[in-house]
């Protein structure tokens, strides 16, 4: 079945947290419309860029784009940007059921509000390993008042202008900024604006709800909870999870989870749904929504104060949740037992030519002006640096616990060429930032594939001992995974999807600062490229309709 969408993308003033901001909307909405489909459907999104003065590209997060690598929507990798006034057609198959996302993948445009969910249901004759009465999607975000342009300028300037902590947290596009903190310019902040009334989730007592929770924060790691209720985790990034129960679920930017919520508490009142920042020292107020037990009035405030979420600095409990996520026993896809290649990626913050950057093995990615996919298919060897980045760092001598100068760090647009149909292990190694006693959480997202998560650990990865502790029995597959502060995360990938794929930190500013690598595999197997992805850089003269 084909599902056609016609989207017009444009700026509009919106007040998702009561503060008026120029927001990128789809057909007037932010978050954008939810794409609802069934496994096997073909999605066709006809996009019109009405941003007037800005390029655009949209990524379908978690969709592997098998046979359509040119529809991945990553500017500089799989396509040229969509010019103001132009139309672009994304066409792809949603081959697996699950909860996925979409968002802008050009500059910092996601920050401006271009994001939404993709929900792929199982065919009607297929049952899932859990039951529920109703399905709801909840998309979490953090929200800044500065424009994408101010943020991007700060990040790429000397002196460096950091984006800072977000002003608010949004639940389904709604949050609450304290207007008394903002300037007194009339109309900029209005606490009574209906656009920022809290999101209300109404439940019928006794029923079970599948909440599909996705996070598209620009910076924050988040904890989500429902006052007085437990959540049973059943799906992660489109894969069934061996169920486990939590009070709060930690969710990193780019991840999705399904949790089951039983409306089994005192039904004479409402409850708070709460999100709070973890991992970074928060200065953002908690995000609140209302869990409304029918037939109470949806706006009746819960009689008790919102619970406080988990402590932001409790890394151990976040690591414990990471360990708890295992493949559902009836849905295990076993990983290959050995890998053909191991790439260790040391995550560092450093300065290059006076600019703040993030690097992997001392290389900070700059996207080329000619998309890799086109450059590789047409053999345009001068379109990017042909020297691949290193597979390792000097792990014998590098102290991940101290501020390192990394004087040899460079910027490059070189890529990793992976052999097609091989097994590659990726070890993400975290380290200290340029601040003393500080290491951050990075959510890493892979395009075009899911990976097995073989393990997590504290400190420096031990090439000899740690692989012996890998979980090869029931590892979960995901497309986004955290590397915890001062820790490591080990992943296994099968390079079975021809194309060119980003693997990057999903913190928008970190990606912008170079925290990304690019994997090519089997590009010679990619079919004829649509000319609509061309027209920029070295493909300027190439035909565009
Ligand atoms: O990339 C970052 O820069 C700042 C800080 O390290 C320097 O201002 C921060 O918190 C980041 O995550």
pLDDT in tens, the chain (545 residues): 999 999 999 999 999 999 999 999 999 999 999 999 999 999 999 999 999 999 999 999 999 999 999 999 999 999 999 999 999 999 999 999 999 999 999 999 999 999 999 999 999 999 999 999 999 999 999 999 999 999 999 999 999 999 999 999 999 999 999 998 876 667 799 999 999 999 999 999 999 999 999 999 999 999 999 999 999 999 999 999 999 999 999 999 999 999 999 999 999 999 999 999 999 999 999 999 999 999 999 999 999 999 999 999 999 999 999 999 999 999 999 999 999 999 999 999 999 999 999 999 999 999 999 999 999 999 999 999 999 999 999 999 999 999 998 999 999 999 999 999 999 999 999 999 999 999 999 999 999 999 999 999 999 999 999 999 999 999 999 999 999 999 999 999 999 999 999 999 999 999 999 999 999 999 999 999 999 999 999 998 886 54
Per DSSP, what are the bridge partners of residue 250?
223
Residue 377 CA, ligand 1 centroid: distance in Å: 37
CA of 406 to the centre of ligand 1 (A): 16
| CA separation for the pair 270, 427 (Å, rounded) | 45
CA distances from residue 38 to 42, 100, 121, 257 in whole angstroms, order as listed = 9, 13, 5, 18
Q: Is the CB of 281 under 6 A from ligand 1?
A: no
State the pairing for strand pair 35-38/115-121.
Answer: parallel
Question: What does the DSSP assignment read for 401-460?
Answer: TS----TT-EEE---EEE-TT-EEEEEEE----SSTT----EEEEESS--EEEEEEEESS
CB–CB of 12/28 below 8 Å? yes
CA–CA gap between residue 25 and residue 274 (Å, rounded): 25
Containing H/E element for 231? strand 231-236
Closest CA to 542 of 85, 79, 86, 87: 79
For residue 347, report the distance from its CA to the centre of ligand 1, in Å: 13
31-55 pLDDT, tens digit per residue, is 999 999 999 999 999 999 999 999 9
pLDDT at 245: 98
Please report the atom of ligand 1 found closest to the CA of residue 434. 6
Tens-digit pLDDT profile for residues 169-217: 999 999 999 998 876 667 799 999 999 999 999 999 999 999 999 999 9
In this prediction, does ipTM exceed 0.90?
A: yes
Q: What is the pLDDT of residue 249?
A: 98
Instruction: Assess whether the C-beta atom of 439 lies below 6 angstroms from ligand 1.
Output: no
How many whole angstroms separate alpha carbon 463 and alpha carbon 344?
10
Residue bearing the CA closest to ligand 1, atom 3: 162
Quote the ligand 1 centre to 402 CA distance (angstroms).
16
* Cβ 401 under 6 angstroms from ligand 1: no
CA distance 442 to 515: 10
433 lines ligand 1 (CB under 6 A): yes
Cis upstream peptide for 483 (omega within 30°): no
- The CA 253 to ligand 1 mean position distance, Å, reads 17
Instruction: Assign 245 to helix, strand or coil.
Output: strand
C-beta 508 within 6 A of ligand 1: no
pLDDT of residue 544: 52
Give the separation between CA 416 and CA 500, rounded to whole angstroms.
10
Contacts of 512 (CB under 8 A, 6+ apart): 107, 108, 152, 155, 156
Q: What is the distance in A from the centroid of ligand 1 to the CA of 162?
A: 6
């Amino acid at each position: 079945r084909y599902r056609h969408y016609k989207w017009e993308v444009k700026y509009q003033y919106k007040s998702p947290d009561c503060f008026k901001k120029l927001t990128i909307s789809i057909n007037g909405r932010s978050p954008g419309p939810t794409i609802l489909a069934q496994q096997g459907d073909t999605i066709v999104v006809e996009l019109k860029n009405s941003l007037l003065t800005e390029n655009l590209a949209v990524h379908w997060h978690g969709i592997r784009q098998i046979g359509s690598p040119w529809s991945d929507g990553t500017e500089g990798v799989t396509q040229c940007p969509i010019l103001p006034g132009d139309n672009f057609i994304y066409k792809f198959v949603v081959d697996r059921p699950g909860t996925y996302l979409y968002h802008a993948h050009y500059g910092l445009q996601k920050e401006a509000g271009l994001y939404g969910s993709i929900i792929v249901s199982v065919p009607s004759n297929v049952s899932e390993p859990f039951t529920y009465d109703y399905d709801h999607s909840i998309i979490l975000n953090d929200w800044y008042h500065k424009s994408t342009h101010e943020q991007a300028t700060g990040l790429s300037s000397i002196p460096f202008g950091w984006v800072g902590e977000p002003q608010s947290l949004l639940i389904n596009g709604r949050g609450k900024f304290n207007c008394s903190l903002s300037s007194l310019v009339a109309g900029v902040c209005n606490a009574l604006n209906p656009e920022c009334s809290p999101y209300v989730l109404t439940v019928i007592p006794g029923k079970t709800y599948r909440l599909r929770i996705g996070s598209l924060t620009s910076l924050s790691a988040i904890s989500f909870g429902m006052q007085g209720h437990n959540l049973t985790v059943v799906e992660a990034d489109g894969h069934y999870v061996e169920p486990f129960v939590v009070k709060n679920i930690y969710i990193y930017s780019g991840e999705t989870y399904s949790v089951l919520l039983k409306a089994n508490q005192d039904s004479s009142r409402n409850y708070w749904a709460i999100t709070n920042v973890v991992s970074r020292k928060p200065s953002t107020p908690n995000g609140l929504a209302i869990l409304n037990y029918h037939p109470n009035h949806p706006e009746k405030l819960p009689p008790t104060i919102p619970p406080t979420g988990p402590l932001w600095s409790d890394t151990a409990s976040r690591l414990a949740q990471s360990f708890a996520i295992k493949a559902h026993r009836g849905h295990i896809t076993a990983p290959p037992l050995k890998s053909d290649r191991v790439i260790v990626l040391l995550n560092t913050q450093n300065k290059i030519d006076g600019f703040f950057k993030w690097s992997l093995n001392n290389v900070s990615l700059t996207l080329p002006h000619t998309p890799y996919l086109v450059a590789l298919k047409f053999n345009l060897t001068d379109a990017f640096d042909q020297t691949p980045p290193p597979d390792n760092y000097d792990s014998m001598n590098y102290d991940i616990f101290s501020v390192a100068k990394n004087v040899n760090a460079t910027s490059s647009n070189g890529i990793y060429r992976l052999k097609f149909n091989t097994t590659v292990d990726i070890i993400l190694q975290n380290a200290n930032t340029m601040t003393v006693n500080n290491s951050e959480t990075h959510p890493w997202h892979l395009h075009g594939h899911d990976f097995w998560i073989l393990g997590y650990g504290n400190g420096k990865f031990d090439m000899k001992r740690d692989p012996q502790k890998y979980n090869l029995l029931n590892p979960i597959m995901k497309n986004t995974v955290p590397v915890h502060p001062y820790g490591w995360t080990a992943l296994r990938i099968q390079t079975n999807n021809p194309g060119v794929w980003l693997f990057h930190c999903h913190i928008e500013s970190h990606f912008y600062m170079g925290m990304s690598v690019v994997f090519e595999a089997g590009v010679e197997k990619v079919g004829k490229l649509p000319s609509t992805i061309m027209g920029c850089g070295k493909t300027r003269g190439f035909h565009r309709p």
